[in-house]
Amino acid sequence: MAEEETVTSLKSEIATLRGRVNELEAENAELAARMANCCCDQKGTQQLGESEVECRSSLEPNGERNSGGAETKKTRRKKRVAEISSYDSRTVSHCPRRYVALKVMYFGPRFYGFASEAQMEPTVESEIFKALEKTRLLVTNKKEAQYSRCGRTDKGVSAVGQVIALFLRSKLRHLNSNTSDSRENFVDGQNGTEEEIDYVRVLNRALPQDIRIFGWCPVPVDFHARFSCLGRGYKYLFWSGTLDLQAMETAGKKFVGEHDYRNFCKMDAANVHNYVRRIDSFEISPSDLRFQGNQLFAIKIKGSAFLWHQVRCIVAVLFMVGEGLESPDVVDTLLDTSRTTRKPQYAMASEIPLILSSCDFEGLKFTCSSGT
């Protein structure tokens, strides 16, 4: 008798579970239908904040209805981590997109360089892409987004003028979301920027404090952040101390022009075969900042492109000149690769005071959020 009751009870539970499975399948089908029909410019999404997906329906990212109940900080944190780790760009791939350039500044000491190809984490680039995924601005993977960067700064180097370019989600419906070989996504001049997503404010909410986006600009799809760049500028900050600034200025002027800089860089024979680069300007400028009798100065160098560690090697030699260990003529000797066929051994200048100060492009006018 007891066995029959047990069997009956189990059959009842199985029937209940089957009914629940059917209900869940129906709910899942309803959710899929809502996601397929969601609108990228719903007015209600403004209430959720622009940092959330404008393509979302009234459901939470985990597919459950928002009951409005209280959540612990731990629960919310777990949800955010789950959202980022499980990000799938296909959920927003149907949204309009446009090709944009972003101007980036960052304080470098915490990062293992800019590029995410570095063997260590974090890098500036990896943090930017985490923010792009968190804000659902990334509509495809990095390759299909036609991602490019102007330069690859090394570990510890900072920047106030780095530029990257890629396809981002847009709320302008007239843009062709699938084009990658025309100029349809480039709105002439600044037309359309007022109605567009505030990329600066949205991304800065998701980025760490030592990385800031401070401008964006629509660009044609044939734009490339590296190869479209007309010139780059670097600053190297230092305290004057007892350095002979006049001798350093004399030596620095010798770099202006086109030269072979193989004795002023870290050799990368596997990837670089031409070491000729052009430096357009050089100057040593004072600042108003003083400390214990020392004044802060900046070495400013502008050129078309730079080799690996080129600026730090140049500064190291200039410091030797300023300390009286070498004469300004040492620059001529090292630039003459027929006389100096092998790079002498000398320590590079520290990376911490080095700043990528500018990346120059023709016709780009970056828009910054008024709220940042």
**Which candidate in 41, 88, 154, 222 is catalytic?**
154
**Number of C-alpha atoms within 13 angstroms, CB side, residue 203?**
28
The CA–CA distances, whole Å, from 140 to 169, 184, 222 equal 9, 18, 18
Region of residue 324 (left: phi > 0; alpha: psi -120 to 50; beta: else) = left
Tokens read off for 252: 């620095």
Instruction: Choose among 282, 129, 276: nearest CA to 206.
Output: 129
DSSP assigned state of 367: B
Sort strands 257-260 and 276-291 into parallel, antiparallel or unpaired.
antiparallel
Sign (positive/negative) of CA torsion 359, 363, 364, 365? positive
Tokens read off for 54: 């404008």
Instruction: Choose among 372, 363, 55, 5: nearest CA to 186.
Output: 363
Tell me how long the chain is. Answer: 372
Sort strands 294-303 and 231-239 into parallel, antiparallel or unpaired.
antiparallel
154 catalytic? Reply is yes
Residue 173 CB neighbours (<10 A):
11
Under DSSP, is residue 289 helix (H, G, I), strand (E, B) or coil? strand
Instruction: Choose among 134, 114, 135, 138: nearest CA to 126.
Output: 114
Question: Taking the C-alpha atoms of 171, 166, 81 and 77 in order, what is their torsion angle to the nearest 10 degrees?
Answer: -60
Tell me if 186 sits within 8 A of 363, measured CB to CB. no
Instruction: Choose among 125, 160, 163, 208: nearest CA to 361.
Output: 163
Tell me if 295 sits within 8 A of 240, measured CB to CB. yes
- The catalytic residue positions are 154
